[in-house]
Structure formats: structure tokens, C-alpha cells
Structure 1
Amino acid sequence: MRIDKFLKVSRIIKRRSVAKEIADQGRISVNGRVIKSSSEVHPNDEIVIKFGNKTLTVRVKELLDTTKKDDAQRMYEIINEEYERDFRSENE
């Protein structure tokens, strides 16, 4: 399954076009390699996504073509979620 579709179906990112844009900006890596939106993901792959001041690391558990909201979290497990601190507000 393509990474942009996985992120949309798993509801990690709400829109496939946004997932595609983030991937094509080099803000997503799979198993340590920066990838493009057309790259394939497989079960047990580790995905790192950089959203602004947040970095989310997930492991692919299963691939589903469609999901209901309750089933979406079966597709992945969160390994780590980090927030960068805003140093500007601390120094003011």
C-alpha cells in the first residue's frame, strides 16, 4: 500500500492530498529512509512523520483498504510522540 493511502486510511492524516504533500516534502521516513508519497509500506515498517513541532513514530500492524473510525487504530501502534519546545517563548 502506498504511504499516502496508508496515512489517510489509518486516519493518522485526514486527507490523502495532505499526506502526499508532507511525504513529497521529505518529512516522512520509513525504516530510516526518507520516502516519497508513492513509496510502499508493509507490516512491521516503522514510520516517522514530522508535523511542525511534533514528531510521530508508528509501526505498521496491518494494511486495510478501508476502515471505520474504530478500526483505524488496528492498522498501527504508536511507538513515540515527541513535541519540540518553543525556545522563543522561554527566552522572552
Structure 2
Amino acid sequence: MRVDKFLKNARIIKRRTIAKEACEQGRVLVNGKESKPGVEVDIGDIVQINFGNNKMKIEIIDISEHVPKDKAQDMYKILNS
């Protein structure tokens, strides 16, 4: 799954266009490397998102196309924020 789509499906970022822009601005790292919006992520990958002074680091646990709102947090584990 594309990293921008994962961030939207997991409800880490509300809209896919915002997730895409964050990737294009170099604010999203996948396994320590800056990622483009189309970078494919898989279970076990580490994603770091930089929001200004805040940093969120997560590990991908599950990948699903359609996720109910209450199950979205089951897609990842927060490593540090």
C-alpha cells in the first residue's frame, strides 16, 4: 500500500492530499529514508512523521483497504512521539 494512503486509512492524517503533501515536503520517513507519496509500505515498516516540532514514530502492524474508524489504531503501534 502507498504510504500516503496508509496514513489516511490509519487516520494519522485526515486527508490523503495532506498526506501526499507531507511526503512531498520531506516530512515522512519510511525506514529512515525520506519517502515519496507512492512508496510502498508493508507490515513491520517504521514510519516517522514530522509535524513542526512534533515527531511521531510508528510501526505498521496491519494493512487494510477499508478500515472502520474504531479499528484504525489497530493498524499501527506508536514507538515514540
Name the counterpart of 2:53: 53
Where do 5+ consecutive residues of structure 1 fail to align?
A: 82-92
With CA pairs under 8 Å and 6+ residues apart, which has the higher RCO, 1 or 2? Answer: 2
Q: Secondary structure at the match of 1:39?
A: coil
TM-score (ref. length: structure 1): 0.86
How far does residue 16 in structure 1 lie from its aligned partner after superposition?
0.2
TM-score (ref. length: structure 2): 0.98
Name the counterpart of 2:13: 13
RMSD (CA atoms):
0.5
How far apart are the structure 2 equivalents of 1:4 and 1:30? Answer: 11
How far apart are the structure 1 equivalents of 2:28 and 2:59? Answer: 13
How far apart are the structure 2 equivalents of 1:11 and 1:56? Answer: 13
How far does residue 34 in structure 1 lie from its aligned partner after superposition?
0.7
How far does residue 28 in structure 1 lie from its aligned partner after superposition?
0.7
